[in-house]
Structure 1
Amino acid sequence: MSIVKTIRERRSVKKGYKDDAVSTELIVELLNDAVWAPNHGLREPWRFIFVPTENKEAFIEQLIVTYPKDMHENRRNYFSQPAAFLVVVMKEDPRQKQWEEDFAATSALIQNFQLLAWERGLGVVWKTNPHNWDPKARQLMNVQPGEKVVGFLHLGYFDSEQIPDGRPRTPVEEKLTIM
């Protein structure tokens, strides 16, 4: 698949996941390529928490208790849809310039991961839900002070006939200033 085709055809897969397991081996392979994202000073500010398919149900049961009791069933249903999760965590540099460079690098890594996953038929949606900041959820995932959850990625194989349509983008000419 060409790079242009992959970029233009990749979609966030939010539902309709198959029951197929997502293997640790595949995630490691994809991450080993995704880490080639540009990152200033090669600081590599990221780390990863993978919840494979076989551990997902136990993880969900621990995660839902970080929510109010009346939301448990709703959150159980929501988190049960993907086959696996990948949490991308960034070390937070106290210096603003470095923090912004590291956040940009980590975001580029996530985009690389999404494109690589798409190429392999693995659907991904990058989530920034409230639990990313919740102290109880952070403790469950062993996210330390001075670390930021940049993305809680929902993963799963999908039926290629149910790929969401792409939404149009604004022509760049409408947003381009030439000096």
Structure 2
Amino acid sequence: MTSLEKMIRERRSIKSGYTTEEVKEETVVHLLESAIFAPNHGLREPWRFIFVPAEKKDAFIEKLVSTFPKEKQDNRRHYFSQPAAFLIVVMKEDPRQKQWDENFGAVCSMIQNFQLLAWEQRLGVVWKTNPHIYEPKVHEILNIDKDEKVVGFLHLGYFKEEDIPAPKKRTSAKEKLTIYS
């Protein structure tokens, strides 16, 4: 097995148990500079990023939590307080379906690149697509334009080796493969 195959198979979404180590802007930018080499039709580069570093996180969380019903705010505050930082990935939407699909595929590929690069540096990432990514009030907080889509919140934080989740069984590709005849 190559080192790339090994990394793809060993990468995990790190959802909790982050250390207190700061996720620095320079690290995120460095990872993004390679992640953006994802395939994208016509080199449209349909992405942009919003980084929420540790020193801005509490204020951001309070704004974010205010968009939830009162009875859910304490729960959401606890949930959003766990990661050390956030990277919000935004896609420019194209009104043409084919181009929209190509752009979405490109952004998803870029996120996978970012996750693999982060894993290599022991930076945990989980890609979240919770309902708040569709909330107009959240879009307003983030200055999301009408022709943009929030593809996800990437929760970021360093982790300890012993906190890596166990692998989950995957269905063999052979079971999902049909040979055209």
Task: Report the TM-score, using the length of structure 1 for normalisation.
Answer: 0.98
- 1:125 and 2:150 are equivalent in the alignment: no
2:164 maps to which residue? 163
CA distance in 2, matches of 1:110, 1:66: 26
One-letter amino acid of the counterpart of residue 174, structure 1 = E
CA distance in 1, matches of 2:109, 2:54: 25
CA distance in 2, matches of 1:117, 1:80: 20
| Equivalences, count | 179
- CA deviation after TM superposition for structure 1 residue 72, in Å: 1.2
One-letter amino acid of the counterpart of residue 63, structure 1 = L
1:147 maps to which residue? 148
- CA deviation after TM superposition for structure 1 residue 171, in Å: 1.0
CA distance in 2, matches of 1:175, 1:37: 25
- 1:21 and 2:22 are equivalent in the alignment: yes
- CA deviation after TM superposition for structure 1 residue 70, in Å: 1.4
2:108 maps to which residue? 107
1:64 maps to which residue? 65
CA distance in 2, matches of 1:8, 1:54: 33
CA distance in 2, matches of 1:25, 1:11: 23
One-letter amino acid of the counterpart of residue 150, structure 1 = V
| Runs of at least 5 residues in structure 1 that lack an aligned partner in the other structure | none
Aligned-residue Cα RMSD (Å) equals 0.9
Runs of at least 4 residues of structure 1 off by over 4 A?
Answer: none
